[in-house]
Amino acid sequence: MSKLAIRTVLFSMLGNAVLAGIKFLAGIFGNSYALIADGIESTVDVFSSLLVLLGLKYSARPADENHPYGHGKAEPLITFLVVAFLIISAFTIAWQAIQNIRTPHTLPSSWTLIVLGAIILWKEISYQLVMNRAKKIMSSSLKAEAWHHRSDAITSIAAFLGISVAIFGGEGFEVADDYAALVACGFILYNCYGIFRPALGEVMDENNYEELTLKIREISLQVKGIEGTEKCFIRKAGMKYHVDLHATVKGDLTVKEGHSISHNLKDRLRKELKELGHVLIHIEPA
């Protein structure tokens, strides 16, 4: 799973590096600050992807004496850094856009719309690809990486609309390009919250995995000797979910029999749910 995640991040880094160069050149020669702002975001995305890559590699390290539950918590911490990079880029773009609004400048070139159209299509494809892989391996940092692509597509759409207004409006509408950059900043900041909130929940060990809890309870009832389940606490670390489960058995069983049933239940859960890490079974008399 970690290899798939690393390949996905490398794909993002390469794509963002190429697009940053295209946006900067198109923005400079096409007189569009919205495109230059887009290029700034893509450049920041390259560095944030590097952070995600380092975080994935560190979080994939096996458990040791000091970290019996592994190093998975590094992943949401890296996500916080990615969000910080996005916020910094948004405010940088907004500040420069405001400066440009105050300064008269020439209209953008019409051919920049073709460049932006291709960029929007590519970024949306990249978003779908990375998000599908993020869901497959349950990685919060990869979801953040996917939202980088979506926010980049949004800023490109804003730039497309701004340049269109500037071109078709003619003289006096030059600042539409810069206002588009400001609108894009608002979308970026909104996406930052969407990335930050799940990562915060992961660090705080929020128990909000209803679908996984239901699967655990259903599988548990299929194990011979299990009468039912009570408490089920789940916390996520990296790409693994650690589970504390209270299961009920007949009250007249011996300690040895109850111990054997708990091991059978643990083995069954880890066999059918590959995303599980540590599983602690507490046996209760029915």
Yes or no: say if 212 and 247 are a contact pair by the CB < 8 Å rule. Answer: no
pTM: predicted TM-score of the whole model, two decimal places: 0.66
The pLDDT of residue 2 is 63
Give the three-class secondary structure for 72: coil
- Tokens for 50, please give them: 């590097």
**Tens digit of each residue's pLDDT, the chain (286 residues):** 567 777 888 888 888 888 888 888 888 888 777 677 777 777 777 877 787 777 777 777 777 788 777 777 777 888 788 788 778 878 887 887 788 777 766 777 788 888 889 988 998 898 898 888 887 777 767 777 787 788 778 778 877 887 788 778 777 776 777 787 788 788 778 878 877 887 888 788 777 788 889 999 999 999 999 998 999 999 888 778 889 999 999 988 888 998 999 999 999 999 888 888 889 999 988 8
- How far, in Å, CA of 201 to CA of 110, rounded? 45
Spell out the domain ranges in the chain.
2-203, 210-285
143-175 burial code (b ≥16 CB/10 A, e <16): bbbbbbbbbbbbbbbbbbbbbbbbbeeeeebbb
Of 158, 156, 169, residue with least CA distance to 117: 156
Q: DSSP letter at 232?
A: E
CATH numeric code, 210-285: 3.30.70.1350
Task: Write 22-31 long-range contacts (CB < 8 A, 24+).
Answer: 22/115, 22/119, 23/115, 23/119, 26/112, 26/115, 27/112, 29/109, 30/108, 30/109, 30/111, 30/112, 30/115, 31/105, 31/106, 31/107, 31/108, 31/109
| 105 and 79 Cβ atoms separated by less than 8 Å | no
**What Å distances lie between residue 84 and 9, 79, 131, 269, 279, CA to CA?**
18, 9, 20, 37, 34
What architecture (CATH level 2) is domain 2-203? Up-down Bundle (1.20)
